[in-house]
Structure 1
Amino acid sequence: MKHILIDARFRDGSPGGIQQVVIGLAQGLSQLDLAGNRVTFLLLEGHTAWLEPFLPEQATIACVPTSSAAPSSGGFLARVKAFVRDHFGHLFGQSSIQIPAEPAIVKELNPDLIHFVHQNCFRTDRPFLYTPHDLQHEYYPEYFTKRTVMVRRYLYKYYAERASAVVCISKACQQDVVKYLGVSADKCPVIYNAPVTEGYDQPEDSVLDSVRAKYALPRSFFFYPARSYPHKNHIALVRAVAQLRDAGTVVQVVCSGAPTPYFKQTVLPLIESLQLQSQFHFVGFVSTSELNALYALATALVFPSQFEGFGLPLIEAMRAGLPVMCSNNSALPEVVGEAALTFEAEDVVEIATHLHNLWEDMSLRERLICKGLEHAKLFNWQRSAAQYLKLYDRLAPIKLK
């Protein structure tokens, strides 16, 4: 029997897509025979409820104190230190980078293999899997502080070189890992993500009515589920909607995701300056059941991101029967195949054209829905979890009795 520790130390709702990956992995493992192997999920104290409904029967949870993985922002002095670190920390070089020590509970659990599903790893001498979900900082360093770019480059390479395997969530991600981290492709298996929404039943009418009323949703709308970070490219979407409005076509857009400073400083002021407040609806962070309802209520999914390691909402939307339009960069063409309309992320005219066509042409939407439903079958967590199990079995050392 081998003991696998899956590291998922984060606050409920904080890491967005990575939390969905852990839920999906747990769902997939619960559908498989673990062959007597022991699986433990390492979580933060007080942040376990999000995973408990999906936990495999054979799996357990172990916890570390919340402060050990997610320190609070503190008072004025802590904010000053954070500012100095973020804006001047790069001047101190790589010697200023600290790698966390292995938590005491990990020594007690004594796992045979650790699966880091996010980038906030700790130092360990045990075999481990590492998953750098994307290398966005190599393409858009301007979206990060100089220190963050330095830290990412150092830590990603540090962990990739020491990992037993570097799991990539797309072939595009694998190519980046080989190019920027200097890791052999043989060490970088590709295991695709999949929609966790497949674990939920189709929302009943009462749930749909409740979600529509709660968020005052319009009757028809484009849906964009993404926190408003710069690379999510809400700016181009806003400009495209304004261009359509000026041409006589008024569309509605619903965006989910907890607000960010960039939203308050850049996205919202642009919406207000273009007088689009009545056309954009920001609903904030939503639960998975509410997300399912939003997919069911939407007219189409729009996804103008500048960079993605995978792009999970695309497959979630297809599975839910939504037509999809997305940008054609990074991993996105690989993920959507021929089942979506694609466009250049910075081409506002092209985005506006696709928005107009999807809004007005029902036959186009129906064709994309059919393609999407078929394409989404290629991605499911049972298949991906089985690939992880094979990897665990191959890489975890055999204990001698």
Structure 2
Amino acid sequence: MKKRILINHLLEPANKLSGISNYLFFLMESIIKRNEFELVLLTCWHRDKLPAEIADSNIVFIEKEYINSQAVNIANQNYILPKIIRDYNIDLVFNCNPVGGTRGKAKKVFVAHDLYFDVSPQSYKWHHRLAWNIFFPLAGKAADAIICVSNNTKNDVQRYHPKLVKKTQVIHEASCLDVIDSHPVRSAEKAGLFVANLSPNKGAKTLVSAMTYLKNKGIHLPVYHVGRDDHSRFAAHANILKNGIYPSSLGYVSAEKLGHLYATARYLAFPSHFEGFGLPIIEAQSYGLPIIASDIPVLREVAGEGALFFPEGDAEAMAQCMQRLYEDEHLFTDISIKARINADRFSWEKAAKETSELFLHCLDHTA
């Protein structure tokens, strides 16, 4: 008889695609194809809003109303989970978040995407830090296993929560884009891309300073920003500099449009100070797009040889990488080939296999 897995998706907003929901849906699609478990999805999403591969599958579907307050949401999870686990004969609860409900007699697996609140607490409001400092240790204590999406995240668990590290296992995620054009034609504009919702860790100041440095040398290299800049960080950094410039905003774009941008751009700029994984790197590399990245461990881990690295925060060094990729066709071709090879290391099939094996390991061992 197949084991029953309850997938707890209650912390993610209803019918609105977040990064964690995207991660879960791609992973679920590959787990469903493996047909090893009976799956029960506990979610705030309407079934007809889910990806077709999930909505049309034979999984059991439990829909609940979304609760915006994290604390109230988790309290409600702890209220309803024991009954759901009993009623549906659940063997293991898989939570796609690092925090969540911990009650109920079943094995538990959580996912740590990053430890931003520990790594850079000054970047976040006090009540968000407080919630993390309460709920992550509770989840970690209850967990039979904690999936880390990178070795870097596992190292952060070791550093900030050493008692939990024995429960961790690294399972890399993969690209959430389907590569339509495997042999893209690059735009003559040779524009760079920056793909992120701007937050303190994304290195906005470094990119603005690099672009301005090149402009002051008479070198104009266009860069386009995909994502949000709710606090106008780019403009604020540019205003501090003399004649500062910053990327042109494209806002949100469809997956199809993002794929087209990756296929026609010259490089992806990734000047982050810290990351949990850096998913746009794998997405870009799957289109053969070279990466220009901060030389930090997690980006070395993910980008591999398909990138040029510069010292974290060194705008002049970043500018030199931008200029080299703009001007040197042989370098561009070499890094592009290596980018594709590196991207092939990551797949959702591999992630699903490793996740399923972890589930079975937890189910076969007493905590």
Q: TM-score range by the shorter chain?
A: 0.7 to 0.9
Deviations 1:251-278 (A, max 9, x none): 1111112342x3x3x322334565566x
Shift of 1:47: 7.8
Distance change (3 Å), C-alpha of 1:327 and 1:292: same
Report the counterpart of residue 324 of structure 1 in structure 2.
291
Deviations 1:235-292 (A, max 9, x none): 21011101100011101111112342x3x3x322334565566x62212222322221
Report the counterpart of residue 76 of structure 2 in structure 1.
101
Percent identity of equivalent pairs: 24
Deviations 1:311-336 (A, max 9, x none): 11111111111011111224111112
Shift of 1:98: 8.9
Shift of 1:384: 0.8
Where do 5+ consecutive residues of structure 1 fail to align? 73-95, 209-216
Given that residues 293 and 308 in structure 2 are in contact (C-alpha distance below 8 angstroms), is that contact kept between their aligned partners in structure 1?
yes
User: Aligned letter for 2:13?
Assistant: R
Distance 1:15 1:157 in 2: 27
Given that residues 99 and 110 in structure 2 are in contact (C-alpha distance below 8 angstroms), is that contact kept between their aligned partners in structure 1?
no
Report the counterpart of residue 214 of structure 1 in structure 2.
none
Given that residues 100 and 123 in structure 1 are in contact (C-alpha distance below 8 angstroms), is that contact kept between their aligned partners in structure 2?
no
Report the counterpart of residue 87 of structure 1 in structure 2.
none
Distance change (3 Å), C-alpha of 1:55 and 1:134: same
Report the counterpart of residue 146 of structure 2 in structure 1.
166
Given that residues 101 and 124 in structure 1 are in contact (C-alpha distance below 8 angstroms), is that contact kept between their aligned partners in structure 2?
no
User: Aligned letter for 2:167?
Assistant: K
Distance change (3 Å), C-alpha of 1:49 and 1:148: same
SS in 2 for 1:220: coil
Report the counterpart of residue 337 of structure 1 in structure 2.
304
2:317 matched to 1:350?
yes
SS in 1 for 2:112: coil
User: Aligned letter for 1:100?
Assistant: A
Shift of 1:128: 1.1
The range that moved more, 238-247 or 279-288, is 279-288
User: Aligned letter for 2:51?
Assistant: L
Report the counterpart of residue 371 of structure 1 in structure 2.
338
Report the counterpart of residue 384 of structure 1 in structure 2.
351
2:94 matched to 1:115?
yes
Distance change (3 Å), C-alpha of 1:317 and 1:270: same
Give the 5 Å matches for 1:1-400. 1-9=2-10, 10-11=12-13, 16-32=18-34, 34-35=35-36, 37-46=37-46, 49-53=49-53, 57-66=57-66, 68=67, 70=68, 99-102=74-77, 104=80, 106-107=84-85, 108-125=87-104, 126-198=106-178, 201-202=180-181, 219-260=189-230, 262=231, 264=232, 266-271=233-238, 280-396=247-363
SS in 2 for 1:201: coil
SS in 1 for 2:356: helix
Deviations 1:54-111 (A, max 9, x none): 5573434321112x2x259xxxxxxxxxxxxxxxxxxxxxxx9994232637354442
User: Aligned letter for 1:249?
Assistant: I
Shift of 1:397: 6.8
Distance 2:121 2:207 in 1: 22
User: Aligned letter for 1:246?
Assistant: N
Distance change (3 Å), C-alpha of 1:98 and 1:21: closer
SS in 1 for 2:102: coil
User: Aligned letter for 2:227?
Assistant: G
The range that moved more, 291-300 or 303-312, is 291-300
User: What RMSD, in angstroms, separates the aligned Cα atoms of the two structures?
Assistant: 3.0
The range that moved more, 337-346 or 7-16, is 7-16
Where do 5+ consecutive residues of structure 2 fail to align? none
Shift of 1:197: 1.5
SS in 2 for 1:115: strand
Distance change (3 Å), C-alpha of 1:333 and 1:53: same
SS in 1 for 2:214: helix
Distance 1:280 1:324 in 2: 16
Distance change (3 Å), C-alpha of 1:392 and 1:299: same
Shift of 1:116: 1.0
Distance 1:99 1:145 in 2: 19
SS in 2 for 1:315: helix
SS in 1 for 2:221: coil
User: Aligned letter for 2:273?
Assistant: Q
SS in 2 for 1:129: strand
Deviations 1:364-394 (A, max 9, x none): 1110011111111111110110111112222
- TM-score (ref. length: structure 2): 0.87
